[in-house]
A and B are shown apart, each in its own frame.
Chain A
Amino acid sequence: DGGITQSPKYLFRKEGQNVTLSCEQNLNHDAMYWYRQDPGQGLRLIYYSQIVNDFQKGDIAEGYSVSREKKESFPLTVTSAQKNPTAFYLCASSRIVRGEKLFFGSGTQLSVL
Protein backbone atom coordinates (compact mmCIF):
# COMPACT_ATOMS: atom_id res chain seq x y z
CA ASP A 1 0.00 0.00 0.00
CA GLY A 2 1.20 3.49 -0.83
CA GLY A 3 1.58 5.94 1.96
CA ILE A 4 3.69 8.38 3.89
CA THR A 5 5.74 7.26 6.89
CA GLN A 6 7.07 9.43 9.67
CA SER A 7 9.49 8.33 12.35
CA PRO A 8 9.94 8.29 15.22
CA LYS A 9 6.48 8.76 16.72
CA TYR A 10 7.95 10.34 19.87
CA LEU A 11 11.24 12.21 20.14
CA PHE A 12 12.98 13.98 22.99
CA ARG A 13 15.52 16.72 22.57
CA LYS A 14 18.10 17.95 25.03
CA GLU A 15 19.19 21.58 25.26
CA GLY A 16 21.53 22.55 22.43
CA GLN A 17 20.90 19.36 20.50
CA ASN A 18 19.87 19.01 16.85
CA VAL A 19 17.33 16.31 16.07
CA THR A 20 16.12 14.97 12.74
CA LEU A 21 12.61 13.82 11.93
CA SER A 22 12.20 11.35 9.10
CA CYS A 23 9.55 11.46 6.38
CA GLU A 24 9.33 8.93 3.53
CA GLN A 25 6.64 8.52 0.90
CA ASN A 26 6.06 5.89 -1.79
CA LEU A 27 3.22 7.70 -3.53
CA ASN A 28 5.48 9.12 -6.25
CA HIS A 29 4.47 12.62 -5.21
CA ASP A 30 6.62 15.54 -6.30
CA ALA A 31 5.65 17.89 -3.47
CA MET A 32 6.40 17.35 0.20
CA TYR A 33 5.63 19.57 3.18
CA TRP A 34 6.44 19.94 6.86
CA TYR A 35 3.86 21.43 9.22
CA ARG A 36 4.11 22.26 12.89
CA GLN A 37 1.09 21.97 15.17
CA ASP A 38 0.92 23.48 18.65
CA PRO A 39 -1.84 22.57 21.10
CA GLY A 40 -5.12 24.22 20.16
CA GLN A 41 -3.65 25.72 17.03
CA GLY A 42 -3.74 25.00 13.36
CA LEU A 43 -1.01 23.65 11.15
CA ARG A 44 1.74 26.08 10.24
CA LEU A 45 3.99 25.48 7.27
CA ILE A 46 7.71 25.13 8.01
CA TYR A 47 9.23 24.13 4.66
CA TYR A 48 8.06 22.63 1.41
CA SER A 49 9.68 21.12 -1.65
CA GLN A 50 8.34 20.58 -5.14
CA ILE A 51 11.41 19.02 -6.72
CA VAL A 52 14.52 17.18 -5.67
CA ASN A 53 17.35 19.42 -4.43
CA ASP A 54 15.04 22.42 -4.08
CA PHE A 55 12.88 23.66 -1.22
CA GLN A 56 11.22 26.84 -0.03
CA LYS A 57 10.69 28.37 3.38
CA GLY A 58 7.21 28.39 4.77
CA ASP A 59 5.81 30.73 7.39
CA ILE A 60 7.94 29.55 10.34
CA ALA A 61 11.25 28.27 8.92
CA GLU A 62 13.57 29.83 11.50
CA GLY A 63 15.39 27.21 13.56
CA TYR A 64 14.66 24.41 11.08
CA SER A 65 16.45 22.94 8.10
CA VAL A 66 15.49 20.39 5.44
CA SER A 67 16.99 18.48 2.55
CA ARG A 68 15.48 16.79 -0.50
CA GLU A 69 18.13 14.49 -1.95
CA LYS A 70 15.60 11.89 -3.07
CA LYS A 71 12.05 12.27 -4.31
CA GLU A 72 10.82 9.88 -1.62
CA SER A 73 12.47 11.52 1.37
CA PHE A 74 12.17 14.92 3.06
CA PRO A 75 13.83 14.92 6.50
CA LEU A 76 13.41 17.86 8.87
CA THR A 77 16.14 18.90 11.30
CA VAL A 78 15.13 20.88 14.36
CA THR A 79 18.25 22.84 15.25
CA SER A 80 19.37 24.23 18.58
CA ALA A 81 18.37 27.66 17.26
CA GLN A 82 14.72 26.64 17.60
CA LYS A 83 14.08 27.71 21.18
CA ASN A 84 10.58 26.34 21.49
CA PRO A 85 10.59 23.03 19.59
CA THR A 86 7.92 21.19 21.57
CA ALA A 87 5.13 20.49 19.09
CA PHE A 88 3.48 17.87 16.92
CA TYR A 89 5.16 17.71 13.50
CA LEU A 90 3.30 16.52 10.44
CA CYS A 91 4.76 15.64 7.07
CA ALA A 92 2.57 15.65 3.98
CA SER A 93 2.88 15.03 0.28
CA SER A 94 0.87 15.70 -2.86
CA ARG A 95 1.05 15.89 -6.60
CA ILE A 96 1.73 19.38 -7.96
CA VAL A 97 -1.76 19.85 -9.31
CA ARG A 98 -4.28 22.52 -8.47
CA GLY A 99 -6.81 21.41 -5.88
CA GLU A 100 -4.96 18.24 -4.96
CA LYS A 101 -5.44 16.84 -1.49
CA LEU A 102 -2.57 16.36 0.92
CA PHE A 103 -1.62 12.94 2.23
CA PHE A 104 -0.38 13.18 5.81
CA GLY A 105 1.95 11.02 7.83
CA SER A 106 1.00 9.97 11.35
CA GLY A 107 3.13 12.68 12.96
CA THR A 108 6.04 13.01 15.39
CA GLN A 109 5.61 14.45 18.86
CA LEU A 110 8.79 16.31 19.82
CA SER A 111 9.39 17.27 23.43
CA VAL A 112 12.25 18.99 25.21
CA LEU A 113 13.94 17.24 28.15
Chain B
Amino acid sequence: QQPVQSPQAVILREGEDAVINCSSSKALYSVHWYRQKHGEAPVFLMILLKGGEQKGHEKISASFNEKKQQSSLYLTASQLSYSGTYFCGTEERAGGTSYGKLTFGQGTILTVHP
Protein backbone atom coordinates (compact mmCIF):
# COMPACT_ATOMS: atom_id res chain seq x y z
CA GLN B 1 0.00 0.00 0.00
CA GLN B 2 1.26 3.44 -0.97
CA PRO B 3 2.24 5.94 1.71
CA VAL B 4 -0.06 8.95 1.80
CA GLN B 5 1.34 12.40 1.21
CA SER B 6 -0.25 15.70 2.20
CA PRO B 7 -0.94 18.24 0.99
CA GLN B 8 -1.39 17.30 -2.67
CA ALA B 9 -0.26 20.75 -3.78
CA VAL B 10 1.33 23.84 -2.29
CA ILE B 11 1.74 27.32 -3.76
CA LEU B 12 4.33 29.62 -2.21
CA ARG B 13 5.98 32.96 -2.77
CA GLU B 14 9.76 33.07 -2.63
CA GLY B 15 10.98 33.09 0.94
CA GLU B 16 7.97 31.31 2.41
CA ASP B 17 8.12 27.98 4.20
CA ALA B 18 6.32 24.70 3.56
CA VAL B 19 5.87 21.30 5.19
CA ILE B 20 5.09 18.10 3.31
CA ASN B 21 3.93 15.05 5.22
CA CYS B 22 4.23 11.34 4.44
CA SER B 23 2.35 8.67 6.37
CA SER B 24 2.52 4.89 6.07
CA SER B 25 0.47 2.03 7.48
CA LYS B 26 3.53 -0.26 7.43
CA ALA B 27 6.42 -0.56 9.88
CA LEU B 28 9.24 1.32 8.22
CA TYR B 29 13.01 1.02 8.15
CA SER B 30 13.65 4.17 6.20
CA VAL B 31 12.01 7.08 4.42
CA HIS B 32 13.51 8.64 1.30
CA TRP B 33 12.68 12.02 -0.20
CA TYR B 34 13.02 12.92 -3.89
CA ARG B 35 12.19 15.96 -5.99
CA GLN B 36 11.17 15.66 -9.62
CA LYS B 37 10.88 18.28 -12.35
CA HIS B 38 8.42 17.57 -15.14
CA GLY B 39 9.67 14.92 -17.59
CA GLU B 40 12.89 14.35 -15.67
CA ALA B 41 14.23 11.74 -13.30
CA PRO B 42 13.62 12.16 -9.57
CA VAL B 43 16.53 13.76 -7.73
CA PHE B 44 17.54 12.36 -4.37
CA LEU B 45 17.21 14.73 -1.40
CA MET B 46 17.77 12.65 1.72
CA ILE B 47 17.19 9.41 3.59
CA LEU B 48 15.97 9.09 7.16
CA LEU B 49 16.96 5.85 8.83
CA LYS B 50 16.19 6.05 12.50
CA GLY B 51 13.12 6.92 14.45
CA GLY B 52 13.11 10.59 15.33
CA GLU B 53 16.04 11.30 13.07
CA GLN B 54 16.28 14.69 11.46
CA LYS B 55 18.50 15.42 8.54
CA GLY B 56 19.22 18.63 6.69
CA HIS B 57 20.20 19.52 3.18
CA GLU B 58 20.76 23.25 2.62
CA LYS B 59 17.43 24.80 3.59
CA ILE B 60 15.57 21.53 3.27
CA SER B 61 15.32 19.22 6.26
CA ALA B 62 13.20 16.26 7.32
CA SER B 63 12.14 14.26 10.33
CA PHE B 64 11.01 10.67 10.82
CA ASN B 65 8.72 9.55 13.62
CA GLU B 66 9.25 5.80 13.73
CA LYS B 67 6.42 5.15 16.17
CA LYS B 68 3.86 6.88 14.01
CA GLN B 69 5.45 5.78 10.68
CA GLN B 70 5.39 9.39 9.56
CA SER B 71 7.92 11.68 7.98
CA SER B 72 7.82 15.39 7.28
CA LEU B 73 9.87 17.42 4.81
CA TYR B 74 10.55 21.04 5.76
CA LEU B 75 11.39 23.64 3.12
CA THR B 76 12.43 26.98 4.54
CA ALA B 77 12.93 30.29 2.77
CA SER B 78 11.81 28.71 -0.49
CA GLN B 79 13.52 29.54 -3.77
CA LEU B 80 12.18 29.34 -7.32
CA SER B 81 14.37 26.27 -7.86
CA TYR B 82 12.39 24.37 -5.21
CA SER B 83 9.42 24.07 -7.58
CA GLY B 84 8.64 20.51 -8.57
CA THR B 85 6.91 17.39 -7.32
CA TYR B 86 8.14 15.94 -4.05
CA PHE B 87 7.86 12.22 -3.39
CA CYS B 88 8.45 10.19 -0.29
CA GLY B 89 9.56 6.61 -0.74
CA THR B 90 9.25 4.14 2.10
CA GLU B 91 11.29 1.03 2.80
CA GLU B 92 9.55 -1.55 4.99
CA ARG B 93 11.16 -2.96 8.07
CA ALA B 94 10.57 -6.54 6.86
CA GLY B 95 13.72 -8.10 5.47
CA GLY B 96 14.44 -10.43 2.60
CA THR B 97 13.60 -9.22 -0.88
CA SER B 98 12.21 -5.94 0.45
CA TYR B 99 15.77 -4.65 0.96
CA GLY B 100 16.10 -1.47 -1.06
CA LYS B 101 12.58 -1.74 -2.48
CA LEU B 102 10.75 1.56 -2.17
CA THR B 103 7.04 2.30 -2.28
CA PHE B 104 6.33 5.89 -3.30
CA GLY B 105 3.63 8.30 -2.27
CA GLN B 106 1.49 10.03 -4.87
CA GLY B 107 3.55 13.20 -4.74
CA THR B 108 3.12 16.81 -3.61
CA ILE B 109 3.31 19.52 -6.27
CA LEU B 110 5.19 22.55 -4.98
CA THR B 111 5.05 25.81 -6.94
CA VAL B 112 7.15 28.78 -5.90
CA HIS B 113 6.30 32.17 -7.41
CA PRO B 114 8.53 35.26 -7.44
Contact = CB atoms under 8 A, between A and B. Distances in A.
Interface string A30-72: 0101010000111111001010000010010000000000000
B99 A42 contact: no
Contact of B44 (A56, A90, A98, A102): A102
Interface in B81-114: 87, 89, 91, 97, 99-107
Contacts of B47: 99, 101
Q: Which of A43, A59, A100, A104 is most buried by chain B, counting CB atoms within 10 A of its CB?
A: A43
Contact of A101 (B40, B44, B99): B44
Interface of B: 2, 5, 29-30, 32, 39-42, 44, 47, 49, 87, 89, 91, 97, 99-107
A2 to B, nearest CB: 15
Given A41-B107, A43-B87, A107-B40, A101 B32 contact: yes
Contacts of B5: 42
A42 B44 contact: no
Contacts of A97: 99-100
B41 A107 contact: yes
A109 B41 CA distance: 12
B40 A94 contact: no
Contact of A99 (B30, B103, B104, B106): B30
Nearest to B32: A101
A50 B32 contact: no
Interface of A: 31, 33, 35, 40-45, 48, 50, 56, 59, 88, 90, 94-102, 104-107, 109
Contacts of B87: 42-43
Contact of B41 (A33, A59, A90, A99): A90
A96 to B, nearest CB: 5
Question: Which of B5, B89, B91, B99 counts the most A-chain CB atoms under 10 A from its CB?
Answer: B99
Contacts of B29: 98-99
Given A42-B87, A106-B41, 9 more contacts: A42-B2, A42-B106, A43-B87, A90-B42, A94-B100, A97-B99, A98-B49, A102-B100, A106-B40
Nearest to A59: B103
